[in-house]
Amino acid sequence: MHGGGESVGQQPNELTPDAGPWHRWGYELRQFREARRLSQQVLARKALIDRSHLGRFERAERPVPSTRPSPSMRLLTPLVH
């Protein structure tokens, strides 16, 4: 059991923002979220997406949509930029 209210979760992947647009966007998204002390769960709920989906964006495992962004992407993109 973990004390102090710590939650058990994955260690965040190290991102290299210069590796490409997916990495840059994921890096900026994570920076935004962490600067505001939001969990992935809370930000995902605000963006109307699943937490695992948000995690894949942050880890650059899912491409940033380039055309016809989904409603959730329209919510997240202004937050990051």
Query: 39: how many CB neighbours lie within 10 A of its CB?
Result: 14
Its domain, for residue 66, covers: 17-80
pLDDT at 72: 64
Asked whether residue 12 is domain-assigned, the answer is no
Residue type, 79: L
pLDDT of residue 7: 46
> Would you state the pLDDT for residue 16?
81
> Residue 69 falls within a domain, yes or no?
yes
- Identify whether 47 is part of a domain: yes
Determine, yes or no, domain membership for 4: no
Q: What tens-digit pLDDT sequence spans the chain (81 residues)? A: 333 433 445 666 677 888 888 888 888 889 999 999 999 999 999 888 899 989 998 998 877 655 555 666 666 766 665
Please check whether residue 31 is in contact with residue 23, taking contact to mean a CB–CB distance below 8 angstroms: no
Q: What is the pLDDT of residue 23?
A: 86
CATH number, domain of 27, equals 1.10.260.40
The per-residue pLDDT for 73 is: 65
